[in-house]
Amino acid sequence: MARALQAASGYPRLLGLASGLTLPLAFAPFGAWWYAPLVVALGAASWPALTPRQAAGAGFAFGAGAFLTGTYWLYISITIFGGAPPALSIFLMLGLVLIMAVYYAGTAWVVARLAPGDARHLLWLLPAAWVTMEWLRGWLLSGFPWLSLGYSQTDGPLAGFVPVGGVYGASLAVALLGGALIVLVRVPRWRMPAAVILLAVPAAGAGLGRIDWTEPVGEPLRAALVQGAITQDRKWLPEERAPTLALYRRLTLAEADADIIVWPEVAVPAETSQVAGYLSAIDRIMEARDASLLLGIMDYDEDLGGYSNSILLLGPGEGIYRKRHLVPFGEYFPVPDFIREWMRLMSLPYTDTAAGPERPELLEAAGEHVALTICYEDAFGAEQLYAFPEATLLVNVSNDAWFGDSIAPHQHLQIARLRSLEAGRWQLRATNTGITAFIGPQGRLRALSPQFETAVLRARVQPRTGLTPYAATGNWPVVGLCLALLAAGALAARRRR
């Protein structure tokens, strides 16, 4: 590693690109959580020795490499299943890569600007700048928090920081270790403090991981998750509707003892008014069983003036949840009218889906209040905090069939695991083709379905109450600390100049 760090001063962009290309190895399905601090060190080692402009180039190369290999599956969803021309798919995919790379360029520029020629400051400037960047790209321009460092830590000792500081708390710990690795190699006089950090941070994370931040409430529930495994290329064919409805009905009727059953995102390939009789029949069955069914479906809402991606509650009680955080260029199109018209002429999707209210009322399923998310929404942890402490369970419905047999479903499942860890709640996650899973309050997988197979996953889940520190405070303690460190660094740099 020492040779690699020394080489960074001579080949910063090349090393930035090479290290960025390997960043996804730290995430699922590869699971090399220990690699995350190392790749941060390799990517950022050269930044203090460069001019801010040169450092920005190296940071840009790192970000471009990371998202080239980490989000290549966008091509699968846009072209193979979305039907868009390959040229358009490549344009959109590279556009996202370039936008994400700009964030890393800005991070490197800030570090080089505030700590010119002095690697010691990486112990605090690197974590502060990195986490601030991740936080910004998690909400700015709709946000895309994929590949935030904290997500890689679900199976490592740094997972203990998640209930305290959320995903960015874990990211802060990873970046701190990365800075300590650089200082350990590059600054002999500071090797002792760096070594202490490298030992103390994982130990602290492991200690925090032993704390049970929430507590059981009520009796365990018998839950079932239905995975229909309807491939995306056949899901909306007219001739597939009747077999799909029959499949989900048959699998659900077989779960006579379940207290709560969950179907995937848009499991019903129709709008609610088109299958009203079918839904009424299922509702009567669930009422008779005193059980709750949560199912994904498209629903037209007159108040919103459009169709919404929704979760419908059947059985005792009633209600509907409408997806709030929509996918850019998937569920809404932030483009001028003339481009939208061109998309229509090219037979591409061009109509926006209606977004639900930002703070919806919680649905009550099987006697428990549930915090609901649909697919991509579970990547935005802070947007779910409104539901606590009332919500005792998490439910996520997804359709990762859009990404085929790629790394995307595994990355998405890892994100869902971190949401359970942040909230200290069980999560019921039903997906169309996988990966359907029960996730425990510590973020551990308690049951898992095979991909691309019709399956029903069963488990007993324990509702929980109480608040983790993160659920009580959100991102602001971690983000505020990082902003304060950057402000102090800027003040110190100004005094030096």
Pick the catalytic residue from 375, 377, 422, 482: 375
C-alpha distances in angstroms, 101 versus 66, 88, 252? 8, 20, 45
Q: Which of 134, 235, 255, 265 is catalytic?
A: 265
Do residues 242 and 271 make contact, with C-beta atoms less than 8 angstroms apart? no
Alpha carbon 118 to chain centroid distance?
Answer: 35
- Is 482 an annotated catalytic residue? no
**Which residue's entry shows tokens 């800030």?**
110
Phi, psi of 186 (to 5 degrees): -95, -20
In DSSP notation, 108-174 reads HHHHHHHSTT-GGGGGTHHHHHHHHHHHHHTTGGG---TT-GGGGGTTSGGGGGHHHHHHHHHHHHH
For 110, the token pair is 């800030």
> Catalytic one among 235, 255, 323, 482?
323
Query: Per the structure block, which two tokens stand in for 57?
Result: 């180039």
> Which uninterrupted H or E stretch holds 79?
none
- Calpha distance 416→396 (Å, rounded): 8
List the Cα angle 363/419/73 in 5-degree steps.
105
Q: What span, in angstroms and rounded, lies between the C-alpha atoms of 378 and 396? A: 7
Per the annotation, the verdict on 323 as an active-site residue is yes
> Which residues participate in catalysis according to the annotation?
265, 323, 375
